[in-house]
A and B are shown apart, each in its own frame.
Chain A
Amino acid sequence: MITFTPEQEQFRKAVARFVDAEVVPAAEAIDERAEFPTKLFKRIGELGYLGLRYPEAYGGAGADMVTYCLFAEELARGSLSVAAAAAMQSLMGTHFVYKHGSEDLRRRYLVPALRGDLIATFALTEPNAGSDVAAITHAAERRGDRYVLRGTKTWVTSAPVADLLTVAAKTSTSGA
């Protein structure tokens, strides 16, 4: 049994109004042109939807996961393309910066990403490994004070337009 709080229902209605007014009319044209929905993406960031799952200190809303699901469900009703881009941005694309990044990195990347100014994505899947993390072959080789990444990723959401990529790579070939 799914029950939503009054606040969640109100939030769903607000998102639905936005989707009906701005996403639905543009959805077909976006898919026809096969373009990244830059304007809508930016608009979603302005409305604060990209930061639903993050603390207010970084421009987020501190919402729970059910609320986020309501947002994603309503957005996907209008356009799957927009919903997928927004989901990548607000979940995996920025999660690791928030979770493991320093305060400087968060300020530099997370805050503008939640505003929609930066497009972030997560690169894990490989042609020969799929999304099996243990089987990836993307190599990270240390050279002095830097790393050299060598390998190929595929099925990277928003890759052609992404400003920021979180890439999974192996730092050694032994062990697991």
Chain B
Amino acid sequence: MKNIALFLLDRSTMRGITLGKAIDKMSVRASVHRRDPPRGRRGARRASPGRRDRRRREDRRDPLGDPRDDGGDLGGARPCGIRGGRPLRARARRLRKPIAEHQAIGFKLADMLTSLHAALLMTYQAAARLDAGRVVTREAAMTKLFASRRRCGSPTRRPGSSRRTAWPTSIRSSGISGTRDSSCPAAAPPRSCASSSSRSRLGPRRGVRLTAGRRSRGTRPEERGDASTRALLEEFKVGEQLVTGRRTVEG
């Protein structure tokens, strides 16, 4: 890449950097990945078993539970806390038994743990090879690909597939909570984990809306309601005003 250069921009001395609106990402906010997110702990309490008037909110949620409710051990959006206290899957009941005892839930949990463990092994192997002075371009790329596609916890089985995964005895006997604390691989964080809180210090959704080019009315992604595309417009811009900046290039 002969014509690609890196520029160091110091926000305290440079002008012309325009911030877009913060992106409301999934995962880093624990579980907000829908238009009408559950309200965390309160939602979990309302979802306590045996209370009819408390079931509606739970019914709207992910059948595997809100990751925030159980130490982050179930939702694919926050897979880094497999261990936990008493997770939702053990507390909540469906069809007169804890959801953890349903076979379908067991399949998913087994898939998630397997993916997590594999991602962890790949990460540490790549790290160890790097420490040994070896080139790890391929290993690092494969690790990132695996960890981000699987999101460290989404099912390895395609939806609708008839292939079943055995429920490992070790997982069943340990109740998951006692298993190793698998976490997101650090060197290659999954895509859902790779972003931090791109939020203002002063609170969420603060910032200037980006005006990046002109589009005809009605064709903007936010007007089409495409969430993923809409998020792309929430960005920051390095613009024309930089001409007047006192310092533009360093290093």
A residues adjacent to B (C-beta < 8 A): 2, 27-28, 30-38, 64-66, 68-74, 76-77, 80-85, 87-88, 96-97, 100-102, 105, 109, 123, 127, 133-134, 136, 138, 140, 143, 146-176
Contacts and interface: CB of A to CB of B under 8 A. Distances in A.
Interface in B201-235: 201, 203-207, 210, 212, 232-235
A22 to B, nearest CB: 16
Contacts of A164: 8-11
A30 B10 CA distance: 27
Nearest to A96: B6
Interface of B is mostly: loop
Contact of B204 (A34, A100, A151, A152): A34
A147 B7 contact: yes
Nearest to B192: A80
Interface in B230-251: 232-240, 242-243, 245, 247-251
A90 B185 CA distance: 15
A36 B251 contact: no
Given A154-B23, A169-B5, 11 more contacts: A2-B121, A28-B68, A76-B184, A81-B196, A148-B242, A149-B238, A150-B238, A154-B233, A154-B234, A165-B8, A167-B6
A85 B196 contact: yes
* Chain B: number of interface residues, binned into ranges: 35 or more
Select the residue from B28, B121, B187 with max chain A CB neighbours within 10 A. B28
B29 A174 contact: no
B197 A36 contact: yes
Interface string B1-36: 111111111111000010110111001111010000
Contacts of A71: 186
Contacts of B68: 28, 31
Given A101-B251, A153-B236, A140 B5 contact: yes
Nearest to A134: B1
B198 A158 contact: yes
12 contacts: A28-B68, A37-B197, A69-B186, A73-B186, A84-B189, A146-B249, A154-B233, A155-B23, A163-B10, A171-B4, A175-B3, A176-B2
Contacts of A134: 1, 4
